[in-house]
Amino acid sequence: DSAGILLRDGGELVVSEGAGIAEQTIGNRIALATNNPAAQVFRAQQPRLFANVQHDPDWGAWPEAASVRGWIGAPLVIGGEVVGVLTADSFEIGAYSDEDAAIMQVFANQAAIAIHNARFFASLRQELAEHARIERELRLAHEELTATLFHLQQTQFQLVEAEKMAALGNLAANIAHELNTPLGAIKSSVKNMEHTLNDTFIHA
């Protein structure tokens, strides 16, 4: 009448998925340290069935499971590790047999493979998303570095031009200084010669 998948979360089993079970059952937890039938299956790593689970003192089911009578559970094993329990419920007493337990274990094995694949692909998808994020960050960093390099090259060009202009100014100042000295001397000589000539003409 209903079925559920309980997955391990630390020291508890959590009702993760289900068919034919009340919606509020999803998320319910069972401590692995208890003798609840699902916890027993988890620890024993063997399927187990109950003709009338309500007679088990450790059943302790939730109110929405009050109609459950026949119960069967099988461990979900991935790579030698038990990760949860697959369960099936019936409203009839004695609904399940040992043959059903064996079949249930086959279903549990298939479910374990599906869970493993789902987790693997989820992990792979997460890794791909992380790689894409890193690639985006690297591309942005490259763009920023390229812009910074261009800015530095422009600054370097401006500094070189400024240094050239400063050097040209210094050169012009030096040339002017070098020219002013002889020109001053020549000017003085010309004036002296002019005075001498004037004096000569006057006395003549």
Instruction: Give residue 204's pLDDT.
Output: 60
Own/partner pairs for 91-99, CB < 8 Å, 24+ apart?
91/1, 91/67, 93/51, 93/52, 93/69, 94/51, 94/52, 94/70, 95/69, 95/70, 96/49, 96/51, 96/70, 96/71, 96/72, 97/49, 98/49
Q: One-letter amino acid identity for 19? A: A
What pLDDT is stored for residue 201 in this prediction?
67
**Each residue of 135-192: pLDDT tens digit?**
898 888 889 888 888 888 888 888 888 888 888 888 777 777 777 777 777 777 777 7
Per-residue pLDDT tens, the chain, 204 aa: give them: 889 999 999 999 999 988 888 788 889 899 999 989 999 999 999 999 999 988 888 887 677 778 889 999 999 998 889 999 999 999 999 999 999 999 999 999 998 888 888 878 888 898 888 888 898 988 888 898 888 888 888 888 888 888 888 888 887 777 777 777 777 777 777 777 777 777 776 666
Distance of CA 31 to the CA centre of its chain: 32
pTM value is 0.61
